[in-house]
Amino acid sequence: MSLPNCPKCNSTYVYEDQAMLICPECAYEWNPNEEIVDEDVLIIKDMSGKLLQEGDKVTLAKDLKVKGSSQVLKIGTKATIKRLVDGDHDIDCKVDGAGDMMLKSQFVKKASA
């Protein structure tokens, strides 16, 4: 029986220890019968609970003042998510008519396709 490669480092030197599989190169242990969950992946949801990913289109759900400027982004303004980051402003995106900005996910809705 062939064992799968390590999900963390893709090593082929995986060995079995009772019900667990162990990678000797990165010391990662996992149960092959359970779903592998990557702790490094950010899970960010919009204001209605829909999962957001890079490349998604979103719309603003309320008027937002731009810090350090007199500009106001109006409700319904569209943006494209460039990347998701860990922090207070967790969406790095390109806002139509305003350029690149960081937004909070609690103020956006995933746009319907």
The whole-model pTM stands at 0.63
The pLDDT tens digits for 27-72 are 999 888 877 666 666 788 999 989 998 999 999 999 999 888 899 9
Taking the C-alpha atoms of residue 8 and residue 113, their distance in angstroms, rounded to an integer, is: 33
Structure tokens at 2: 């062939």
Enumerate residues 6+ apart whose C-beta is below 8 A from 96. 77, 78, 79
The pLDDT tens digits for 62-107 are 999 988 889 999 999 999 999 988 888 999 999 998 999 999 999 9
Taking the C-alpha atoms of residue 35 and residue 22, their distance in angstroms, rounded to an integer, is: 15
